[in-house]
């Protein structure tokens, strides 16, 4: 009897990837599908259904004999990216990605509190403030990986570690900035928890068994820390994609300008991170320009 296989989905900024692994952790296959985005004047948006179509295309490109052996899957992805979902479970407009630089301002009476939040959280709050002014109903806030979990299982959840630095948005901050009038937060499901089985529809369109389990993952940077074993004091991870980030796992709480220091998901340790937002994007731009010049010569 052939052994069971496990699928992993990664919703990247540029590509959505599906990989299948065996019980020893060896990769059986990898498929990746490029996802288009709306990019103009600082706006960087993605139609969430593009991610779902990419996942369908990737799975259907995998041999049926391999798909037949998949027993569970987990999802990770880029962020913080805002995916607004209405009470019927449908996207309310395009997702606003972490690369989006549209201008917005916090309310005047709250600007003095602005220094109490880090740069990443401030960026999210500014986007939510803009979105609040452009929607006509209350919506749930999901990440890209959460949206795919919804499509796969019908369950509305935020999959991440329930601590500062790993949550894309915090309930107390949403309430403090009076954003709870427009935004609802689904329950947090910790990594490793079973979200549910595939719906009948997901099973049919992906060519997978209805019994496949979907197991909660976490944001891509957190999964990178787990995957590279950055779980002890003094260990460091340099992860790269469209962006690049360096994260140190430390027993000491080191706070300095330009770095983000928050509790680690391992008790007694701290996550100290420095992020460069467009390292991979810059390489991609450079290669594109060189190719253009070469074609002209």
Cα–Cα distances (Å) from 274 to 50, 82, 119, 237, in that order, read 30, 22, 11, 11
- Distance, in Å, from the CA atom of 52 to the CA atom of 48, rounded to the nearest integer, reads 7
pTM of the entire predicted model:
0.89
Among 95-104, 110-119, 211-220, the range of highest mean pLDDT = 211-220
Percent of the chain with pLDDT over 90: 72
The average pLDDT across 249-275 equals 91
Contacts 24+ apart (CB under 8 A), 111-114: 113/176
CA distance 74 to 10: 9
pLDDT at 115 over 70: no
Residue 25 Rama label (left phi>0; alpha psi -120 to 50; beta): left
Mean pLDDT of 128-133: 92
Fold held by 5-221: Nucleotidyltransferase; domain 5 (3.30.420)
The whole-number pLDDT of residue 106 equals 61
The pLDDT value given to residue 69: 98
Tell me what the pLDDT averaged over the chain comes to: 91
Q: Structural domain boundaries of the chain?
A: 5-221, 230-296
pLDDT for position 294: 78
Least confident of 42-46, 196-200, 228-232, 241-245: 241-245
State the pLDDT at residue 104: 66
pLDDT digits (tens, 9 = 90+) for 41-84: 889 999 999 999 999 999 999 999 999 999 999 999 998 999 99
**What sign does the CA torsion over 8, 143, 161, 239 have?**
positive
Q: 271 by DSSP, 3-state: which? A: strand
Token pair for 283: 């390489």
C-alpha angle 16-17-20 in degrees, rounded to nearest 5: 155
Is the per-residue pLDDT at 12 higher than 80? Answer: yes
Task: Report H helices in the chain.
Answer: 48-60, 64-67, 119-132, 144-153, 171-176, 200-206, 220-227, 279-296
How confident is the model over 20-35, as a mean pLDDT? 96
Q: What is the pLDDT of residue 1?
A: 65
pLDDT tens for 132-190 read 999 989 999 999 999 999 999 999 999 999 998 899 999 999 999 899 999 999 999 99
Residues 6+ apart with CB under 8 A from 91: 47, 48, 49, 83, 84, 85, 147
Rounded mean pLDDT of 83-92?
94
Query: Would you call 152 helix, strand, or coil by DSSP?
Result: helix
| pLDDT-derived band at 276, boundaries 50, 70, 90 | confident
Q: Which residue has the higher pLDDT, 117 or 80?
A: 80
For the ranges 39-48, 72-81, 101-110, 200-209, the lowest mean pLDDT is seen at 101-110
**Residue 121 banded pLDDT, cuts 50, 70, 90:** confident
């Amino acid at each position: 009897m052939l052994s069971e296989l496990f699928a992993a989905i990664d919703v990247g900024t540029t590509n959505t990837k599906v990989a299948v692994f065996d019980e020893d952790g060896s990769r059986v296959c990898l498929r990746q599908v490029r996802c288009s985005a709306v990019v103009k004047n600082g706006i960087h948006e993605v139609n969430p259904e593009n991610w779902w179509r990419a996942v369908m295309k990737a799975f259907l490109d995998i041999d049926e004999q391999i798909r037949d052996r998949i027993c569970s899957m987990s999802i990770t992805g880029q962020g913080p990216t805002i995916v607004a979902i209405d009470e019927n479970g449908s996207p309310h407009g395009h997702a606003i990605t972490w690369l989006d630089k549209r201008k917005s301002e916090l309310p005047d009476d709250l600007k003095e509190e602005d220094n109490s939040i880090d740069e990443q959280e401030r960026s999210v709050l500014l986007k939510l403030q803009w979105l609040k002014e452009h929607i006509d109903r209350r919506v749930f806030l999901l990440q890209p990986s959460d949206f795919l979990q919804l499509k796969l299982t019908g369950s509305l959840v935020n999959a991440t570690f329930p601590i500062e630095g790993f949550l894309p948005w915090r309930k107390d901050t949403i309430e403090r900035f009076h954003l709870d009038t427009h935004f609802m937060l689904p329950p947090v499901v910790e990594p490793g928890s079973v979200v549910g089985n595939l719906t009948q529809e997901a099973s049919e369109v992906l060519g997978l068994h209805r019994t496949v389990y979907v197991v909660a993952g976490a944001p891509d940077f957190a999964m990178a820390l787990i995957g590279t074993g950055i779980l002890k004091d003094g260990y460091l991870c340099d992860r790269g994609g469209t962006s690049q980030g360096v994260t140190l796992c430390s027993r000491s709480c080191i706070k300095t300008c330009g770095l983000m220091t928050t509790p680690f998901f391992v008790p007694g340790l701290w996550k100290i991170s420095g992020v460069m937002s467009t390292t991979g994007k810059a390489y991609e731009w450079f290669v594109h320009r060189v190719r253009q010049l070469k074609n002209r010569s």
